[in-house]
Amino acid sequence: MLDPQVKKIVDAINQSGSPEYCDMSVEEARQAHNEKASLLGEPFVDMCSVTDISIPGDAGPITTRLYQPCAEPAACIIFYHGGGHVIGSLDSYDTLCRQLAHQSGCMLSSVDYRLAPEHRFPPAVDDAFAAFCWFVEHGHEVGANANRLIIAGDSAGGNLAAVVAILARDADLPCALHQLLVYPATAAYPDSASQLEFAADHVLTIRLILWFHQHYLDYQDHTDVRWGPLLTEDLTNLPSATLILAECDPLRDEGIAYARRLAEAGNDTTLKVFSGTTHPFFSWSGAVDKARDAVTFASQQIRMATQRP
């Protein structure tokens, strides 16, 4: 059963008559997402500074937006936005990133990775990992400590954050303090029970998920662990993890499965499923109490990670 505040939003979306993103062109979907993204977020939070900088990537510069809190930052969060690797932008996640930086007391870097279909898999992964590597090697130039990095993201961004944690381990880079994964995409194929149960009428539909996949992936990419981290055989020696999931979300079961795999591999793992919520409730903290609670919980988990010896 949907939380009453969530149900009000979901009903409004379902009754609006507006087309799903998958019934639009990519450009129309991106524009619509940018226009709607901040409507249900928390009020705008001032930062000490917000600056767009350019960092090198394999295929050219990558823009990242730095949010600096006024107090000495406890760590630096490297954040990857959601949007199915097709939509989403620095601007559409601006309000949420300000909240996370403000509540966690951390600097935050929001990474503008390349999107599909202009850049099909794996450029998004390449950019995400390049950003992490830059902060390891050059983060001191902007006040970040290579040994005090947090990896975070929601949905497609949660997928990238999970993959970056694995790639960093395999490259013998300094281990991040923590990974925050908000309803991450982790499975190779959309065939779980939650995918079937919430296939329609819960904002993120199977039609939309398949539309994202069609733009992002080729057939052979579905067996690549950089797309489906659940396929990774060895999940040992990864950063401690917090997974925040929505109960009424097609991605719920693969998130639970990934949390279980992380814990079984010996990683400190916290899983919290918010009842009666849907994808993408984490961005609705201006209208939904459970969304506000989720952002606060995420920030508290980050604070706890920065305080560990």
What are the backbone angles phi and psi of residue 56, rounded to the nearest 5°?
-75, 140
Whole-angstrom distance, CA of residue 25 vs CA of residue 34: 14
- Asked if 241 contacts 181 with a C-beta cutoff of 8 angstroms, the reply is yes
Whole-angstrom distance, CA of residue 304 vs CA of residue 110: 21
Spatial CB neighbours of 180, under 8 Å, sequence gap ≥ 6: 77, 150, 151, 152, 153, 161, 241, 242, 244, 298, 301, 302
Torsion of CA 275, 278, 282, 285, to 10 degrees: -80
- Catalytic residue set: 155, 249, 279
Burial code (b: 16+ CB inside 10 Å, e: under 16) for 104-113 equals bbbbbbbbbb
**How many CB atoms neighbour CB 271 within 10 A?**
17
- Asked if 110 contacts 146 with a C-beta cutoff of 8 angstroms, the reply is no
Whole-angstrom distance, CA of residue 125 vs CA of residue 121: 7
**How many CB atoms neighbour CB 56 within 10 A?**
12
